[in-house]
Amino acid sequence: MTWASVPPGSDFPVENLPYGVFSADGRAPRVGVAIGDHILDLAPVLDEPVFAEPTLNRFLGQGRRRWQQIRNHVTDLLTDPAHRPVVQPHLLPQASVTMHMPFEVADYVDFYASVDHATNLGRIFRPDQEPLTPNWRWLPIGYHGRAGTVVASGTPVTRPCGQCKRTLEAAPAFGPSERLDIEAELGFVVGMPSELGKPVPIDRFRDHVFGVVLVNDWSARDMQAWEYVPLGPFLGKSFATSVSPWVIPLDALDAAMVTPPPQQPQPLPYLRDPDVWGLDIELEVRLNGHVVSRPPYRAMYWTPAQMLAHMTVNGASLRTGDLFASGTISGPDRTQRGSFIELSWNGAEPFDLADGTTRTFLQDGDHVAIAARAPARNGVSIGFGEVTGAVSPAQLDPRVRG
């Protein structure tokens, strides 16, 4: 029980305590922890310089023992009423602060870990083939994305221009994407680096990964379809990837750990996990305020621990700030699909919004919000805040003629 005021149903009870970077009163960005509708300004309370930094990176690099120590300390400060007089002056209303990118992204990797999403996309993009490629159930497929265009929640997303080729036309044309989409994902934030040439064993997941953010991997499906063979997605993804302002510590998700779906064939030994890193996290995708989907993370085929073990098994090193995302989260039901290309079956089946309009892909001005909730300790549930973004019209630069 916290002495701080936490409204019923808040995303941020004391069992959560996610970290973010905020600014207020014209001062430089610094680290805070969410509690109810407030944010705790950590630097003056803990007197630790890492929390006066404009990103979480230095704290993330300090490792798991330190993460636990600080979490225990902050929990104590917010539960023992004796600390109230000292702490309360440093609780600022979240409504009064500006949130920033919580960490500086080192490398960004995006996986493809939902069997329902991969099956749907395979059917749409390669209708004449088996929807899952032969490697899909053997390894978590992933690729590197553009770290430099991972942006803070709320950053407007300009509709990208590029080459697309319509099926019946012989040549591609240049113009704004007509199939702008979202991907509702979770992202895993690496704190502790690893050495080049040394794989991270699957049971060391918790030593390296600090926490979880919401990710919206904006996607231009028409550009992606034209460019992605043979080297994978590039401009169809690299214009923007939004992340939520709050990083939920893995330590807040213990009660959300569930057995992942059965894997057949049995994975190779380096992908066999002694722990259960399925996560009972339900996302919610809202378009202009209307819920369009509720993707369940617990349906994901590959776990984040498997992704990390795979990503490093060749000796690739980790850096503090590495972000690896799950890929679109989709469940087996139509109402659980985490992208518009699946919800509208590549535009063939427009879906309804509660305001009476329909959508296939995003329109200019559309506002997307992705949220999530998970069970936590003490029988409460916690939330992830939101990752949001609105679509701005394409800017046709006269210096860049199509």
Residue 319 sits in the site that holds a copy of itself (CB under 8 A) = yes
Which residue, 96 or 392, is less far from a copy of itself as judged by CB?
392
Considering 100, 117, 208, 310, which one is annotated as catalytic?
117
Instruction: Evaluate whether 291 touches 285 at the Cβ level (below 8 Å).
Output: yes
Which of 20, 145, 191, 304 lies at the binding interface for a copy of itself (CB under 8 A)?
Answer: 145
Stretch that binds a copy of itself, among 79-87, 232-240, 243-251, 285-293 (CB under 8 A): 232-240
Residue 183 labeled ligand binder: yes
| Contact set for a copy of itself, span 350-379 (CB under 8 A) | none
Residue 88 labeled ligand binder: no
DSSP 359-371: ESSPPTT-EEEEE
Q: How far is the CB of 173 from a copy of itself (least distance, A)?
A: 8
Stretch that binds a copy of itself, among 14-22, 26-34, 137-145, 289-297 (CB under 8 A): 137-145
Residue 110 labeled ligand binder: yes
Q: How far is the CB of 101 from a copy of itself (least distance, A)?
A: 12
Amino acid in position 340: F
Which residue, 7 or 402, is less far from a copy of itself as judged by CB?
402
Instruction: Evaluate whether 19 touches 100 at the Cβ level (below 8 Å).
Output: no
Residue 401 sits in the site that holds a copy of itself (CB under 8 A) = yes
Residue 290 sits in the site that holds a copy of itself (CB under 8 A) = no
Tokens of 156: 């407007």
Instruction: Evaluate whether 100 touches 54 at the Cβ level (below 8 Å).
Output: yes
Q: How far is the CB of 155 from a copy of itself (least distance, A)?
A: 8
Which residue, 233 or 296, is less far from a copy of itself as judged by CB?
233
| Contact set for a copy of itself, span 166-195 (CB under 8 A) | 171-172, 174
Residue 127 sits in the site that holds a copy of itself (CB under 8 A) = no
Phi, psi of 154 (to 5 degrees): 95, -15
CB atoms under 10 Å from CB of 283, counted, come to 22
Q: How far is the CB of 302 from a copy of itself (least distance, A)?
A: 13
Which of 13, 187, 191, 199 lies at the binding interface for a copy of itself (CB under 8 A)?
Answer: 199
| Contact set for a copy of itself, span 260-279 (CB under 8 A) | 265, 268-270
DSSP 71-133: HHHHHHHHH-GGGHHHHGGGEEEGGGSEEE-SS--S-EEEE---HHHHHHHHHHH-TTS-SS-
Residue 217 sits in the site that holds a copy of itself (CB under 8 A) = no
How far apart (Å, rounded) are the C-alpha atoms in residues 157 and 144?
20
What is the b/e burial string over 28-50, where b = at least 16 CB atoms within 10 angstroms of the residue's CB? ebbbbbbbbbbbbbbbebbebeb
Which of 58, 92, 154, 228 lies at the binding interface for a copy of itself (CB under 8 A)?
Answer: 228
What is the b/e burial string over 11-24, where b = at least 16 CB atoms within 10 angstroms of the residue's CB? bbbbbbbbbbbbee
Measuring CA to CA, how many Å separate 246 from each of 101, 275, 384?
9, 25, 7
**Annotation says 144 is catalytic:** no
Residue 143 sits in the site that holds a copy of itself (CB under 8 A) = yes
